Copies of this chain bind each other. A is one copy, B any other.
Amino acid sequence: MRNIKLILEYDGSKYHGWQYQDNAWTVQQELAEAIRKLTGETVMPDGAGRTDAGVHALGQVACFKTQSNIPAEKFALALNSLLSPGVCVLRSEEAPLDFHPRFSAKGKHYRYLILNRKQRSPLWENRAWHVRDELDLEAMAKAASYLEGTHYFRAFCASGHQNKTFERTITHSAWTFQGEILCYDTKGNGFLYNMVRIMTGAMVDIGRGRYAPEVILEAFETGDRNTLGMTAPAMGLYLVEVFY
């Protein structure tokens, strides 16, 4: 028995998220189907992050057990010939048998893209959140810097979650402003359910002047989701990398 680790890129707009669903097509199902065609084995690959419908991945990590003797690094090419254009294996390699993409992860890197201009963009459709309002970028940068560090993130967690602890450490949290495209990068040891989208939604509300940047500090204190505003839509979020 071997454990094969895959690095995946996918266009989240083509799938109903990562995780298996009975009545909708997901990345996990498409991958399981390709593995079955290739090896004849029925497995459900584990993923590092259960990305929601619409969320993209530049470096999702998935693993599955197999008895096949295909060389580990050949799985990428072989699976790609069976996968649709919406998903691609960037790299495949052998991992220790006890390696689990989610439980073994030490951290993750997420990115959020915003298209900040008056008119929508056909070329950024489903790839970035379209925000028409003029934004106070300085206030947003300040808010991003407040998010760095070890904090109590309960206010940044959507209901319906299974999280039991709410302390997380964010090691990087910063915006890069490239004309109409506002790019937020964050790295941390773990993220709660919808955490990056709630962080981004709060920072956009701060950019719109609805809150002061210090609402972030207030949210750490209250631990109450209602302290913050909207959740940013899924289409702007990218799982960039998983750290082990």
Contacts and interface: CB of A to CB of B under 8 A. Distances in A.
Contacts of A10: 122-123
A5 B216 CA distance: 45
Contacts of A90: 119
A11 B119 contact: no
Contacts of A123: 9-11, 56, 58, 127
Contacts of A120: 80, 85, 88
Interface in A61-111: 76, 80, 85-91
A41 B173 CA distance: 52
Identical chains bound together, number = 2
Interface in A13-56: 14, 56
Interface SS of chain A:
mixed
A125 interface: yes
Contacts of A14: 122
A76 B11 contact: no
Interface residues of A, number: 22
A125 B58 contact: no
A133 to B, nearest CB: 16
A125 B126 CA distance: 14
Given A89-B119, A120-B88, A11 B125 contact: yes
A7 to B, nearest CB: 10
A89 B58 CA distance: 30
Nearest to A127: B123
A35 B84 CA distance: 37
A125 B56 contact: no
Contacts of A91: 119
A110 B58 CA distance: 28
Nearest to A123: B11
A121 B8 CA distance: 10
Nearest to A83: B122
A243 B189 CA distance: 50
A86 B85 CA distance: 19
Contacts of A119: 9, 76, 80, 88-91
A169 to B, nearest CB: 28
Interface of A: 9-11, 14, 56, 58, 76, 80, 85-91, 119-123, 125, 127
The 4 closest A-B pairs by CB, nearest first: A11-B122, A86-B122, A90-B119, A85-B125
